[in-house]
A and B are shown apart, each in its own frame.
Chain A
Amino acid sequence: MVEARGVRKSFGRLEVLKGIDLTVGRGEVLCLIGPSGSGKSTFLRCINHLEKIDGGTLAVDGELVGYRQSGYRLHELRDREVCASRALIGMVFQRFNLFPHLSVLDNVMAGPLWVKRAPTGPTKTRAAELLERVGLADKLASYPNQLSGGQQQRVAIARALAMDPKLMLFDEPTSALDPELVGDVLDVMKDLAASGMTMIVVTHEMGFAKEVADTVVFMDNGHVVESGAPGQVLVEPAHERTRSFLAKVL
């Protein structure tokens, strides 16, 4: 589903991604861990083209991100084509980024209604179903700032799911939450993983990674240091760098 080969990205003179290789299969859950500043968020943002990569190739579902290949030429995609490819990838942010001027229901309906131009009636039914699925059936008319952080993040997940994405990206979805609210959000994500969604999750929740991930990738300083099954990377890491990181977070 996601293929990264030698992905590079620099901000000015600072090289943030120094050749990332990784593969995520359909229906797999990949957890990305690593110290602050190692480039995890940047890599996620490259996947749905919020950042442009400077080198290597990155493909989602067999299609290059941001380019169309014809023969030996890469054509940059037009804005409209970029939008269309983003619509297939859901993203959940650390700080929720719900639309504060729209009610919870309207937040969830925004994507299908405005991007897919779906009819209002079925969209509303579907949005209400999704909100029920994340445990917020009674909050449809509320505005985001009337909700707790955990509730807001679950709305954000429902909003992303409303677009029927084939891939979900989570960027530290629980690190802005009070500890007692983390569980609800993780439960929703576990459900989603169990339903077969392909997910890339940047997280510091090692328990979640152990339980849900098919692959854990440890990143440091723009490199993939090691990757493998959670039982291997999190329990008996091969690299010293991974070991010292895990010692700090566990």
Chain B
Amino acid sequence: MSSDTAATPPASSGGVADGRSSMTVVPVRHPWRWMASVGILVLAAMLFNTLVFSHLTRGGTREGRFQWGVVNQYLFDAPIMRGVLVTLELTVIAMAVGVSLGILLAIMRLSANRLLSGAAWLYIWFFRGTPVLVQLTFWYVGISYLYPHLTLGVPFGTALWTFNSTTLITAFVAGALGLSLNEGAYMSEIVRAGIIAVDEGQSEAAASLGMSRSQTLRRIVLPQAMRVIIPPTGNETISMLKTTSLVSAIAVTDLFQATQNVSNANYQVVPLLLVASLWYLFFTSLLTIGQYYVERYYARGASRQLPPTPFQRLTSALRRERPAAPVAPLTEIPWVAPHD
């Protein structure tokens, strides 16, 4: 049987199938969807036009409204790239410390020991209750004001090491510290929600096999909690990438400060804001893609069959195969003959 006759029912098939194949199916029409689509296309065309083709006369010279030339000139400029690096470093440090601290605080809060859970509660209360900008400024100027010398040694006893606070806590260290400690408070609530979401029967089953509490947490509870933890953690990471721009207030030359430095010198404020935005957008896009795959990894065992990734869909479309159906069909539909 050739593929163009694929929809013809086999001669032997019975009543309903025959009836259906010999009639014309009229699909439901959606006029409002059509009108909305046309509206969106018009708006998209206008946006494209103003971004690319529209011009303006500024100070007697006629130039592109968005000055993409200037944007292009600074996008990969060395000082900007150094700023990009600082922003990435701060994001990675703050999230790494924040997640570790968050796990620790979450476990403390869920502990049966009142002192531990109380301490964690107090930490979260304090760091969620004050603005990050205030915390950052505090770490930068407040610490060396309150404690000009930091010492390492026996509590209430002899000091083994003494540091000068201003040399130890540079602007970058203050920024990393402030962002990390603040993030720890938020992450702990996310981790705690994930741990609570895992059925208690899981811990009981693990205990009945003889697993210790820490093994149960590491092997059984946390991997399952990940499914709940990952999506908001992705949000936090994306949010952190942008929140790092606050360190420009404590004299750290991050991406945003780097673009500010340039525009303070050449007055090209908007093009340099575009430079910063393009870089932020680029990294948040990367993070979004990364998050998709991490979520997929932790969905093992939770959804019966994972839907194909966009990449898999693309490759199977190129091979002119249909992507695997999420759920195997229960019965063959009688009036569609297999392609052969």
Contact = CB atoms under 8 A, between A and B. Distances in A.
Interface of A: 48, 50, 79-80, 83-84, 86-91, 93, 95, 97-103, 110-111, 114-115, 143-146, 156, 159-160, 163
Contact of B207 (A80, A86, A90, A98): A86
- Most chain A beta-carbon neighbours within 10 Å: one of B201, B205, B207: B205
Given A89-B208, A111-B209, A115-B209, 13 more contacts: A50-B204, A50-B207, A79-B212, A86-B209, A86-B210, A91-B208, A95-B201, A98-B205, A99-B202, A101-B224, A101-B298, A101-B302, A144-B301
Contact of A86 (B208, B219, B302): B208
In this complex, which of B206, B223, B304 has the most chain A Cβ atoms within 10 angstroms of its Cβ?
Answer: B206
A62 B283 CA distance: 63
A145 B301 CA distance: 7
B301 A100 contact: yes
A103 B298 CA distance: 13
B302 A110 contact: no
A145 B304 contact: yes
The 3 closest A-B pairs by CB, nearest first: A87-B210, A97-B205, A91-B208
Contacts of A79: 212-213
B210 A115 contact: yes
Q: Which of B204, B209, B211 has the most CB of A within 10 A?
A: B209
Contacts of B206: 99, 110
B242 to A, nearest CB: 32
Given A83-B212, A114-B219, A146 B304 contact: yes
B302 A145 contact: yes
A110 B304 contact: no
Contacts of B301: 100-103, 143-145
Contacts of A156: 205
A194 B211 CA distance: 29
B201 A159 contact: no
Nearest to B300: A101
B201 A93 contact: yes
Contacts of A144: 301
A89 B207 CA distance: 11
B250 interface: no
Nearest to B220: A99
A173 to B, nearest CB: 13
A46 to B, nearest CB: 13
A170 to B, nearest CB: 12
B213 A114 contact: no
B215 interface: yes
Interface residues of B, number: 23
A181 to B, nearest CB: 18
A215 to B, nearest CB: 23
Interface of B: 199, 201-202, 204-213, 215, 219-220, 223-224, 298, 300-302, 304
Contacts of A111: 209-211
Given A95-B201, A101-B301, A145-B301, A110 B219 contact: yes
A101 B223 contact: yes
A115 B220 CA distance: 13
B222 to A, nearest CB: 10
Nearest to A98: B205
A50 B302 contact: no
A99 B219 CA distance: 10
A65 B107 CA distance: 28
Nearest to A102: B301
Contact of A115 (B201, B211, B213): B211
Contacts of B209: 86-87, 110-111, 115, 159-160, 163
22 contacts: A79-B213, A83-B207, A86-B207, A86-B209, A87-B209, A87-B210, A88-B210, A89-B208, A90-B208, A91-B205, A95-B201, A97-B205, A100-B301, A101-B223, A101-B301, A110-B206, A111-B210, A114-B211, A115-B209, A145-B302, A160-B209, A163-B210
A123 to B, nearest CB: 13
B202 A83 contact: no
A30 to B, nearest CB: 18
B313 to A, nearest CB: 23
Contact of A80 (B199, B205, B212, B298): B212
B208 A114 contact: no
A83 B210 contact: yes
A143 B199 CA distance: 17
A98 B204 CA distance: 11
Contacts of A83: 207, 210-212
Contacts of B208: 48, 50, 86, 89-91, 160
Contacts of A97: 199, 201-202, 204-205
Contacts of B215: 114-115
Contacts of B205: 91, 93, 97-99, 156
B328 to A, nearest CB: 11
